[in-house]
């Protein structure tokens, strides 16, 4: 926007009506994105005046607009205004004050944090439900983990909950649930009880609470069919489930007392009871989000026999609000999987209506097949018969798959299912639809897949089905379907009485048609022929052999190289059967081959267990719908992590805060004083404005004179440690060219000089995390840090330096880190299901660790960009300690060497959607500047700039594995103004080698906290955003004084 226009707007602002002002600021700040902060400041005093207006609407709007300006400079003013409005007589203004707090918090100013939380607490205590709702939203945004604040008002918040407006209810329900769990623990009657150890172990530990547990266990076993799944779901709801399974004395047998202390009872605990009571009427809300949030609380906390209360409201949502249908179904799907009995009586609600979208239909099908019981299965099958004839063939295919799932679940109906499925592939139904072959093919293939799966369960009883399939082989033209049938022939060639007799005929038939088959069918014919040969008895052996030989001969001249190769390999393997070659083979060589063949073909397929999607998120969350943890997703807090002392500590602090607050409010509420204060500050800020504008005009002058941009000089050129090179570079540049003038042709470049800050690798200290604390690990201390080295095992792996130290007085042996599920992997969690799960490369075992000794091991982990902690098991002296490895997204990168040219080129290729910026404050340099900055007046620019750069660079490089491309600073520096200082880093994502560029631009005075603006350009946007959040977090984090 032109500055002339802007000034006119400003003038208009004074004259205009208050409504227009808000529109004005909206335009300014969406268009300018905070580029002209100083001019925006001029508008402040108008809003300040409006804040004292008689009309509450004007006050509210003044506050809204002021908070919406989002400039660091005015944040103190806004804070004062919010504090004043939080005590306003008008409810509407107080509500707007609550809404303004997240805006203030968004600026990420440390000094405001405490004040913001304090105001939130005042507003949470408000009498008006409307204000409480808005305050809850502010709480959830600003300090969701500051649960003691909630604790002080818990009962009152519960009671006021039904009166809070609907949007506030959604948020408040979630906060209250988190508080109850953190303070009082989980309910042992609820589904979360699956975390209780006694539920699964049958041994009596002899503790007195056994009878209680047995009772729970009984209901538990009745209601839930798949306890493992339930345990998995409930575990995934929690933040640190395995941490509290750690016990200092005994790690093998988990002490039940210890665990049970994490549990409370939803029947006797008043705090849990009141939450359940107050959320119950919310199930009647017309707002689907409120209903789902309330249902979530009951799902997690209510006793299992009472969860059914959520069923009707949830099902009602499916009809009453069309838009939320999909989301509600996604949640019901999880509920139904965990607790099929819950919805078993309501199958009609999941019957498909022709107006449903495909996704909705698919979800309903899945729910139907998981809640089917013996009683309802016949009705469901009748429905399925209708669905199979649905005009949407994709959906029909899904139905066929669902029939297969139902049959596996309820084996007694398997025969009916197979019959129904076979009818689908009968020649009549195939021929009639030759018109739309592609669509039908999908259904056909799915039908055969389902049949195959059912047969797998119990091949013997489905002999007739196999025969039927074989008889129809001629009619089925779809290659994939044919291939599957041939596979079935080969696999079950010796089952029953009839098939073995038919097999040779079928094979002969197939062999004759071999050249005209499609490739996948050819593969299967080869395999089937080999399998038949291996299984054939004496009398058929020769036939089988000659057929196979015939097939091999045909395959030898096949067009497809893969078919030729396969045939050749098989032939070699089976050479003992075709001993025509006459070569004398070593006998053991033959044996090995036979063994190999037996292993490849002889082994019967075991019925594989169902693959489960093992990612579950809290009900009603966004993450549950998109199936990944969205940024900002937090699982439930650790049960009972909020102790009495936490609460008390909060209380002790409160009086002093309240006092300070009171005095503030007093001064604020006196109108004269308030306005006096604000005017004063405004004049102060305008003064600084004029200063900065002056400096800006300076800036403009210098622009044309010197344009310095030192590009492309590698960093190692100047090796002087700690030498600030900007001046030197400038001089050398001037010397080289004699004439600073002609550089005007590069005028569009921002004037900047490159600084070399030398080798800062000595300063980088990667953060050290503790994997196992000696107090929990019987004296074994394990710490780890992310290594900057590239993993030696495989490039996408992240290497982690792990140090094992023995702090005890005796030696330890057999220390090993393994995956958590290494022992459970035999339960069918095959490799496919772990595709995206973080993988941990096996570690070399430490056989012995003497007291006081420290051994380093490098472990390699493939995180697959998962940001949730990776659960591992640490074995020591044959005891296991569950531990968690915290991924650090900063180390999912590796440095990418590039020069400034390449950097800026790459940057320009990644605009718009691939560019994200966030601001934060940076204070690390203050400590160092404070120590030696006082006497640095001689050359303040030099030292302070260097120190800032070093601090920033070392902080960045300690926390993320990046390459420092360059450090640029504006040439026309003011003495203490670090604005414009820019550090550029480059890296490449380990897993997919996508480059990721990071630029940090500073803004502010050297001896004050600086505003850092972090920009990331990266094609992998989710990764980029997560990395951005990480960088902003660690930059804003105060430096640890070591």
Considering only residues 414 to 473 of the shown chain, the ones binding another protein according to CB under 8 A are: 429, 431-436, 439
Residue span 915-954 as binding mask against another protein, x where in contact by CB under 8 A, dash where not: -x-x------------------------------------
3 state SS of 1018 = strand
Binding mask 878-917 for another protein (x = CB under 8 A): ----------------------------------xx--x-
Q: Which of 920, 917, 921 is nearest to 1018 (CA)?
A: 917
Contact 339, 192 (CB under 8 A): no
Q: Residues of 926-944 as b/e, b for ≥16 C-beta within 10 angstroms? A: bebbeeebeeeeeeebebb
User: In sequence order, what DSSP letters do the residues of 805-858 get, joined into one string?
Assistant: EE-SSS-EEEEEEEEGGGTGGGGS--GGGGTTS-EE-----EEEE-TT-EEEEE
Three-state SS at 670: coil
Interacting residue with another protein among 200, 284, 509, 557 (CB under 8 A):
284
| CB nearer to another protein: pick between 437 and 670 | 437
96 interacts with another protein by CB under 8 A:
yes
> Of 427, 602, 631, 930, which one interacts with another protein (CB under 8 A)?
631
Smallest CA-to-CA distance from 145 within 641, 657, 629 is with: 641
- Asked if 236 interacts with another protein (CB under 8 A), we say no
* Selected binder of another protein within 10, 73, 91, 573 (CB under 8 A): 91
Report the C-alpha dihedral over residues 91, 96, 97, 98, rounded to 10 degrees: 90
Which of 353, 580 has the CB closer to another protein? 353
Indicate whether 1013 belongs to the interface with another protein (CB under 8 A): no
Supply the minimum distance, in Å, between the C-beta of residue 359 and another protein: 6
Q: How far is the CB of 295 from another protein (least distance, A)?
A: 11
Site for another protein in 331-350 (CB under 8 A): 348
Return the biggest CA–CA distance within the chain: 113
- Which x/- pattern, by CB under 8 A, does the window 376-395 give for another protein? ------xx--x--xxx-x--
Q: Contacts with another protein: how many residues (CB under 8 A)? A: 104
CB closer to another protein out of 635 and 766: 635
Tell me whether residue 342 or residue 360 sits nearer to another protein (CB atom). Answer: 360
Nearer to another protein, 107 or 555 (CB): 107
The Cα–Cα gap between 763 and 42 comes to 43
Q: Which stretch binds another protein (CB under 8 A): 20-28, 185-193, 717-725, 1032-1040?
A: 20-28
Q: Which stretch binds another protein (CB under 8 A): 40-48, 310-318, 757-765, 901-909?
A: 310-318
Region of 301 (left: φ > 0; alpha: ψ -120 to 50; beta: rest) is alpha
Q: Which stretch binds another protein (CB under 8 A): 494-502, 555-563, 629-637, 732-740?
A: 629-637
C-alpha to C-alpha distance for 532 and 796, rounded to whole angstroms: 43
The nearest distance, CB 473 to another protein, in angstroms, is 21
Q: Is 313 in the site for another protein (CB under 8 A)?
A: yes
Using the rule CB under 8 A, is 170 a contact of another protein? yes
CB of 316 to another protein, least distance (A): 4
Question: Based on the number of CB atoms within 10 Å of its own CB, is 82 exposed (0-12), middle (13-18) or buried (19 or more)?
Answer: buried
351 binds another protein (CB under 8 A): yes
Q: Is 1021 in the site for another protein (CB under 8 A)?
A: yes
In sequence order, what are the beta bridge partners of 238?
A: 636
**Min dist. Cβ of residue 771 to another protein (A):** 28
Report the residue number, 409 or 628, with the smaller CB distance to another protein: 628
* Residue 876 contacts another protein per CB under 8 A: no
d(CA 409, CA 600): 29
Residue 171 Cβ vs another protein, minimum distance, rounded to whole Å? 8
* Closest approach of another protein to the CB of residue 142, in Å: 11
Task: Pick between residue 4 and residue 323 the one whose CB is nearest to another protein.
Answer: 323
Pairwise CA distance, residues 862 & 874, whole Å: 18
Residue matched to tokens 């208050």: 18
Give min distance, CB of 669 to another protein, in A: 19
Contacts of 911 (CB under 8 A, 6+ apart): 1017
Number of Cβ within a 10 Å radius of residue 52? 15
Q: Which stretch binds another protein (CB under 8 A): 27-35, 369-377, 484-492, 738-746?
A: 27-35
998: how many CB neighbours lie within 10 A of its CB? Answer: 24
Phi, psi (rounded to 5 degrees) for 643: -100, 170
Does the protein bind another protein through residue 633 (CB under 8 A)?
yes
Query: Does 364 help bind another protein (rule: CB under 8 A)?
Result: no
Binding of another protein by 329 (CB under 8 A): no
Contact 104, 78 (CB under 8 A): yes
Using rule CB under 8 A, residue 976 touches another protein:
no
Structure token digits, residue 713? 């000089």
Q: Which residues lie below 8 Å from residue 413, measured CB to CB, with a gap of 6+?
A: 377, 381, 406, 407
Nearest to 929 by CA among 1009, 997, 1003, 1004: 1009
Q: Does 326 bind another protein (CB under 8 A)?
A: yes
Q: Are 816 and 845 in contact (CB under 8 A)?
A: yes
Helical (H) or strand (E) element with 506? helix 499-513
Report the C-alpha gap between 444 and 424 in whole angstroms.
7
**The only residue of 102, 185, 490, 1009 in contact with another protein, by rule CB under 8 A:** 102
Specify the residue, 29 or 220, whose C-beta has the smaller distance to another protein.
29
Distance in Å, CB of 144 to another protein, minimum: 10
The residue among 184 and 364 lying less far from another protein, judged by its C-beta, is 364
Of 110-139, binders to another protein (CB under 8 A) are: 128, 130, 134, 137
Site for another protein (CB under 8 A): which residue of 216, 327, 898, 953?
327
Among 288, 726, 802, 999, binds another protein (CB under 8 A): 288
The nearer residue to another protein, 281 or 513, going by C-beta atoms, is: 281
Q: What CA–CA distance (Å, rounded) separates 912 from 457?
A: 54
Beta bridge partners of 805: 781, 854
Window 502 to 531, contacts with another protein (CB under 8 A):
none
Q: Which of 317, 334, 337, 323 is nearest to 405 (CA)?
A: 337
Q: Which of 28, 46, 51, 60 binds another protein (CB under 8 A)?
A: 60
Residues in contact with 469: Cβ distance below 8 Å, sequence separation at least 6, in sequence order:
422, 425, 448, 451, 485, 488
Other beta carbons within 10 angstroms of residue 17's beta carbon come to 7
Question: Which helix (H) or strand (E) segment is 1015 a member of?
Answer: strand 1010-1018
Would you tell me how many other CB atoms lie within 10 Å of the CB of residue 618?
A: 22
1 binds another protein (CB under 8 A): no
Chain mean position to CA 781: 29
Per rule CB under 8 A, is residue 64 in the interface with another protein?
yes
Q: For residue 199, what are the β-bridge partners? A: none
Side-chain half-sphere exposure of 961, counting CA atoms within 13 A: 22
CB of 289 to another protein, least distance (A): 4
Task: Output 151 or 313, the one with its CB closest to another protein.
Answer: 313
Member of 6, 9, 49, 90 binding another protein (CB under 8 A): 90
Query: Min. distance of Cβ 439 from another protein in angstroms?
Result: 7
Tell me the closest approach of the beta carbon of residue 631 to another protein, in angstroms.
5
Q: How far is the CB of 329 from another protein (least distance, A)?
A: 11
Measured from the CB atom, the residue of 624 and 959 that comes closer to another protein is: 624
* Residue from 106, 790, 801, 1003 binding another protein (CB under 8 A): 106
For another protein, the binding residue among 52, 162, 607, 740 (CB under 8 A) is 162
């Amino acid at each position: 926007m032109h500055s002339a226009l802007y000034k006119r707007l400003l003038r208009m602002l004074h004259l205009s009506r208050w409504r227009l002002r808000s529109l004005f600021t909206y335009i300014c700040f969406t268009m300018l994105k905070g580029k002209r902060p100083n001019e925006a400041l001029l508008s402040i005093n108008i809003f300040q005046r409006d804040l004292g207006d008689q009309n509450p609407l004007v006050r509210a709007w003044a506050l809204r607009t002021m908070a919406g300006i989002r400039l660091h400079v005015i944040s103190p003013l806004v804070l004062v205004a919010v504090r004043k409005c939080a005590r306003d007589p008008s409810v509407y203004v107080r509500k707007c004050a609550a809404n303004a707090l997240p805006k203030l918090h968004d600026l990420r100013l440390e000094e405001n944090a405490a004040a913001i939380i304090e105001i939130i607490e005042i507003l949470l205590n408000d009498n008006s439900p409307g204000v409480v709702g808005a305050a809850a939203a502010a709480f959830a945004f600003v300090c969701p983990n500051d649960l003691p604040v909630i604790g002080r008002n818990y009962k009152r918040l519960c009671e006021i909950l039904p009166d809070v407006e609907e949007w506030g209810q959604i948020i408040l329900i979630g906060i209250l649930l988190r508080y109850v769990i953190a303070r009082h623990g989980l309910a042992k009657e609820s589904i979360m009880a699956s975390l209780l150890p006694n539920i699964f172990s049958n041994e009596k530990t002899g503790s007195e609470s056994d009878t209680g547990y047995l009772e729970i266990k009984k209901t538990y076993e009745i209601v839930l069919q798949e306890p493992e799944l339930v345990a998995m779901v409930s575990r995934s709801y929690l933040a640190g489930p395995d941490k509290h399974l750690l016990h200092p004395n005994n790690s093998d047998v988990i002490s039940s007392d210890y665990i049970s202390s994490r549990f409370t009872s939803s029947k006797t605990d008043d705090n849990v009871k009141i939450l359940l009571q107050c959320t119950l009427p919310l199930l009647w809300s017309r707002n689907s989000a409120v209903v789902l949030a309330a249902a979530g609380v009951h799902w997690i906390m209510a006793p299992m026999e009472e969860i059914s209360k959520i069923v009707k409201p949830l099902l009602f949502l499916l009809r009453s609000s069309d838009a939320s249908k999909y989301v509600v179904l996604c949640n019901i799907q999880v509920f139904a999987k965990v607790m099929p009995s819950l919805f078993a009586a309501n199958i009609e609600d999941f019957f498909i209506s022709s107006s449903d979208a495909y996704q909705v239909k698919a979800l309903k099908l899945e729910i139907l097949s998981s809640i089917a019981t013996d009683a309802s299965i016949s009705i469901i099958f009748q429905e399925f018969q209708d669905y199979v004839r649905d005009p949407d063939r994709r959906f029909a295919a899904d139905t066929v798959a669902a029939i297969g799932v139902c049959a596996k679940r309820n084996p007694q109906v398997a025969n009916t299912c197979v019959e129904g499925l076979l009818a689908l592939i009968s020649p009549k139904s195939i021929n009639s639809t030759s018109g739309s072959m592609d669509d039908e093919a999908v259904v056909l293939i799915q039908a055969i897949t389902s049949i195959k799966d059912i047969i797998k369960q119990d091949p013997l009883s489905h002999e007739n089905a196999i025969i039927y399939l074989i008889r129809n082989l001629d009619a089925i033209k779809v290659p994939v379907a044919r291939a599957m049938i041939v596979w079935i022939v080969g696999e079950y060639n010796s089952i029953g009485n009839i098939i073995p007799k038919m097999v040779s005929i079928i094979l002969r038939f197939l062999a004759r048609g071999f050249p005209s088959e499609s490739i996948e069918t050819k593969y299967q014919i080869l395999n089937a022929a080999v399998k038949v040969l291996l299984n054939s008895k004496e009398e058929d052996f020769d036939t089988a052999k000659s057929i196979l030989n015939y097939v091999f001969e045909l395959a030898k001249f096949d067009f497809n190289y893969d078919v030729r190769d396969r045939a050749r390999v098989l032939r070699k393997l089976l050479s003992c059967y075709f001993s025509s070659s006459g070569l004398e083979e070593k006998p053991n060589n033959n044996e090995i081959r036979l063994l190999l063949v037996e292993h490849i073909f002889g082994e019967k397929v075991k019925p594989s267990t169902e693959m489960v999607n093992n990612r579950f998120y809290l009900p009603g969350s966004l993450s549950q719908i998109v199936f990944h943890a969205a940024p900002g997703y937090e699982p439930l807090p650790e049960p009972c992590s909020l102790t009495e002392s936490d609460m008390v500590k909060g209380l002790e602090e409160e009086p002093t805060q309240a006092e300070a607050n009171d005095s503030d409010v007093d001064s604020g509420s006196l109108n004269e004083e308030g306005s006096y204060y604000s005017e004063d500050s405004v004049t102060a800020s305008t003064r600084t404005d004029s200063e900065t504008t002056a400096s800006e005009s300076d800036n403009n002058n210098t622009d044309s004179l010197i344009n310095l941009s030192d590009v492309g000089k590698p960093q190692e050129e100047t090796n002087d440690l700690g030498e600030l090179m900007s001046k030197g570079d400038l001089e050398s540049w001037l010397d080289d060219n004699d004439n600073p003038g002609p550089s005007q042709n590069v005028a569009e470049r921002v004037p900047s000089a490159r600084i070399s800050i030398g080798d800062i690798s000595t300063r980088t200290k990667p953060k050290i995390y503790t994997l196992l604390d000696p107090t929990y690990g019987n004296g074994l201390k394990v710490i780890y840090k992310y290594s900057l080295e590239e993993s030696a095992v495989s490039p996408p792996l992240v290497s982690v330096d792990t140090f094992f130290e023995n702090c005890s007085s005796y030696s330890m042996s057999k220390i090993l880190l393994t995956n958590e599920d290494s022992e459970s992997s035999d339960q069918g969690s095959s490799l496919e299901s772990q595709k995206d799960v973080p993988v941990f490369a096996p570690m070399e075992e430490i056989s012995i660790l003497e007291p006081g000794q420290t051994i380093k091991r490098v472990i390699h982990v493939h995180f697959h960009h998962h940001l949730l902690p990776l659960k591992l098991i640490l074995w020591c002296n044959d005891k296991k300690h569950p531990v968690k490895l915290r991924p650090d997204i900063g180390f999912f990168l590796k440095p990418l060497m590039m020069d400034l040219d390449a950097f800026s080129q790459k940057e320009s290729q990644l605009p718009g959607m691939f560019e994200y910026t966030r601001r934060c404050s940076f204070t690390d340099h203050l400590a160092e500047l404070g120590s030696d900055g006082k006497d640095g007046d001689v050359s303040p620019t030099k030292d302070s700039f260097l120190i800032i750069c070093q601090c920033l660079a070392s902080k960045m490089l300690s926390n993320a594995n990046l390459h420092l491309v360059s450090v640029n600073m504006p040439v026309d520096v003011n003495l203490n103004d670090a604005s414009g200082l820019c550090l550029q880093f480059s890296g490449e994502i380990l897993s997919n080698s996508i480059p990721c560029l990071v630029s940090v631009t500073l803004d502010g005075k050297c001896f004050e906290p600086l505003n850092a603006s972090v920009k990331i350009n990266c094609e992998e946007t989710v990764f980029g955003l997560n990395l951005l959040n990480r960088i902003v977090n660690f930059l804003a984090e105060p430096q640890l004084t070591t």
